[in-house]
Amino acid sequence: MNIVESNIYLYADDAKIYKSVVTDDDANSLQRVVSRITEWCNTWLLKLNIDKCKVVSYSRKEIIDSDYYITEENTDYILQ
């Protein structure tokens, strides 16, 4: 089992989470990471700017179509 589920690139007050998504399990793994980061932000009272949160996919092949969510104050925001 791979403990590292994704990579993160930090610069100033921005963060980029990235992972190669080949299967549905990879997409679920990425969602778990997004959820963990959201929980961390909620614990430390760090408000995410939902309007700036985006999903970008690059592929030479078929893209695994998956929706990613950030839950904040009983509201699910779908990342686009």
**Residue range 54-64, pLDDT digits in tens:** 888 888 877 77
The DSSP result for 1-52, as a single string, is --S---EEEEETTEEEEE----SHHHHHHHHHHHHHHHHHHHHTT----GGG
Q: Which residues, including other chains, have CB under 8 Å from residue 63's CB and lie 6 or more apart?
A: 57
Q: Where are the domains of the chain?
A: 7-79
Per-residue pLDDT of the chain (80 residues; tens, 9 = 90+): 445 678 889 998 888 998 888 888 988 998 999 899 889 988 999 888 888 888 888 888 777 778 888 887 666 667 76
